[in-house]
């Protein structure tokens, strides 16, 4: 996991002498390129799958996988479960063909009593597991930033068996997803696709995110 690739300080002093504000948006691609070069120099580097959240237009040439960042442990389209799917679809048609999200979300807030709290529920975790099994190229859970307060996949037997069930479904889809990844490599088409990519003239396909 290559996190924080977007945080080039504006007051940085760069080796090439360029203005850091000018280099800021190119920095994630340069970071990805460094990782790519490092993996090319080690034994079995091709078996390692680095993934990033930060990117720019040139990043897909050097990065094998993306994740959608640190969603809230909520349901909404602004920064919750729905936003993870929206991000996956939008990034896919922007050239980032392979992606996934933290199962269950990441960002949690345990505030003072009487104020807003964002803590993961069991139901949210289950729905995220289902979404990831069918839409993502990998399944990866995350304990979140408040693991003791959020519901986890290992908290009870029902959750363990639920994760097992959908992990097995994910595995059974391997051949199908491998075909899609082959298409992504050859054609640049994303694995998880918005309907408008296949039905560009259908009005309903253009309103899926409404």
| Tens-digit pLDDT profile for residues 51-63 | 999 988 888 999 9
Question: Which pLDDT band, with edges at 50, 70 and 90, does 209 fall under?
Answer: low
User: Taking the model in full, what pTM does it have?
Assistant: 0.91
The active-site residue, picked from 6, 36, 149, 183, is 6
Tell me what the mean pLDDT of segment 72-97 comes to: 94
Angle at the Cα of 8 from the Cα atoms of 7 and 12, rounded to 5 degrees: 145
* Domains located in the chain, CATH noted: 64-207 (3.20.20.80)
Enumerate residues 6+ apart whose C-beta is below 8 A from 138.
49, 65, 100
Tens of pLDDT, residue by residue over 95-148, are: 999 999 999 999 999 987 778 899 999 999 999 999 999 999 999 999 999 999
The active-site residue, picked from 36, 70, 130, 183, is 70
Q: Is 6 a catalytic residue?
A: yes
Question: Which pLDDT band, with edges at 50, 70 and 90, does 75 fall under?
Answer: very high
Question: Which pLDDT band, with edges at 50, 70 and 90, does 3 fall under?
Answer: confident
């Amino acid at each position: 996991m290559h996190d924080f690739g977007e945080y080039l300080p504006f007051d940085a002093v760069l080796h090439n002498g360029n203005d850091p504000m000018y280099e800021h948006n190119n920095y994630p691609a340069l970071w990805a390129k460094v990782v790519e070069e490092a993996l090319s120099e080690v034994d079995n580097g091709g078996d390692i799958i680095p993934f990033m959240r930060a990117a720019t237009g040139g990043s897909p040439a050097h990065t094998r996988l993306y994740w959608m960042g640190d969603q809230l442990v909520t349901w909404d389209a602004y920064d919750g479960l729905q936003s993870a799917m929206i991000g996956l679809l939008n990034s896919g048609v922007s050239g980032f063909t392979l992606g996934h999200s933290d199962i269950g979300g990441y960002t949690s807030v345990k505030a003072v009593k009487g104020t807003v709290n964002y803590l993961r529920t069991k139901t949210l975790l289950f729905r995220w597991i289902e979404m990831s099994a069918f839409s993502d190229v990998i399944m990866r859970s995350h304990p979140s930033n408040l693991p003791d307060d959020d519901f986890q996949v290992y908290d009870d037997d029902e959750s363990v068996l639920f994760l097992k069930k959908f992990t097995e479904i994910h595995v059974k889809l391997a051949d199908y997803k491998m075909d899609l990844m082959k298409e992504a490599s050859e054609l640049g088409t994303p694995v998880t696709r918005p309907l408008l990519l296949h039905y560009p003239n259908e009005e309903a396909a253009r309103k899926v995110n409404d």
